[in-house]
Homo-oligomer: A and B are copies of this chain.
Amino acid sequence: MPHETTESTTPERTASDSIIEVQPTRTRSAMDTTPIDLGRIEVLQILDEHAQVDESLDPRYDDEYLLRIHRGLVLTRAFDQRMLTMQRQGEMGTFAPNLGQEACQLGQVIPLTKDDWYSPSYRSFGAQLWRGWSMERLFKLWAGYHEGFPPPPDVNDLPFSIVIGSHVLPAVGVAMGMNYRSEPNCMVVNFGDGACSQGAVSEALNYAAVNKAPVVFVCENNGWAISTPLTKQSATTNLASRGAGFGLPSIRVDGNDILAMTLAVDQAARRARAGDGPTFIEAVTFRMSLHTTADDPTVYRAQELVDPWEARCPITRYETYLQRKGLLDTGAIDRIREECDGEVIVARDRFRTDAVARPREIFDHIYGELSPELEAQKQAYLDRLERKGVE
């Protein structure tokens, strides 16, 4: 949909008119100044707030699959709630709840195969659970145990990232590696609206675009970066335009619509695997809860801003859809919740028994081989532990 570019469209005007505001449009010279068309950027929604489905877009997954997705959503929330309880009881470090963002989370990984890669943010444990990170591992991660940090051995994920935006370039690099080796897989990388302000994220969009890297950027726009609303983060609240500015096909998706999220990522992943390059997906959602457990949102945001989003709950919306389809009833919903809660409790109990700090191992993974100097530092450190009677 190019803008008008013919001469005749320019009305008579004088130099003193603001060319910025009135914008004469001329391309009659021979030089390469084709008018700028940033491409069409669209908004995708399949399941609306009232759980009305757009039949033309309904992916029509089979019943079992639909129910598996539902269980994933419920488990994510159950896990989140348990983490919060454990944190409040001093059993867990600071972490970032993802209440309300469950559909974003799951939708971005459901379409991935085991050979595809995923690069989570620190708020991605919904996606991590789906990808195959055990709950125990995630408990360990957030409780500060070394063993919790590496992605599970059989999962093609990057480690979670806490330095905002710092994982996006490596994620693009992994995707460039797929091109290098002609592997037909893709990478999905997850980050927030705040992360879009980091220069390194812009560089990542550009590297991906220039190299046609098979990567799907999922920008989870939850409206907030700690206390900073999107309006202070960016002059345009359409973050998909960031992707467009770098020449990436870009799309906005209702991030609370699990069907739309899944579809959008699925299509982008297919494109990527087929060699058609990267896609930028802005998933519009809302951070319903605390930024992290160290945060108090009542200081900076009014409850009125949160309330309307209650009705947009991604899980309720999807449950209504499933109920209408006759796949769930209230009894089943309650049962699934209980089952998920139960699973989480079992994992928590295993975590409680299993998690042991291993201070003797901190020198184990710094280099392939320790230098004499580091050997000496390690020895001195072990002697200290000895002296202090630490196992």
Binding site for B on A (CB under 8 A): 1, 3, 10, 12-15, 18-21, 23-36, 38, 40-45, 48-49, 54, 56-60, 197-203, 206, 209-210, 232-238, 240-252, 254, 256, 263-264, 267-268, 270-271, 279, 284, 312
Contacts and interface: CB of A to CB of B under 8 A. Distances in A.
Contacts of A59: 15
B12 A56 contact: yes
B36 A254 contact: no
Given A23-B42, A28-B48, A198-B199, A18 B270 contact: yes
A166 to B, nearest CB: 11
Contacts of A3: 1, 40-42
Copies of this chain in its oligomeric complex: 2
Q: Which of A42, A251, A252 has the most CB of B within 10 A?
A: A42
Q: Is the interface of A mostly helix, strand, loop or mixed?
A: loop
Contacts of A43: 25-27, 33-36
A241 B35 CA distance: 11
Contact of A29 (B15, B40, B45): B45
Contacts of A209: 234-236
Contact of A254 (B31, B197, B242): B31
A192 B203 CA distance: 16
Q: Which of A14, A33, A246, A271 has the most CB of B within 10 A?
A: A33
A45 B26 contact: yes
Given A12-B56, A26-B43, A36-B41, 11 more contacts: A10-B56, A20-B268, A23-B40, A28-B45, A29-B45, A30-B49, A33-B254, A34-B43, A38-B38, A209-B234, A241-B247
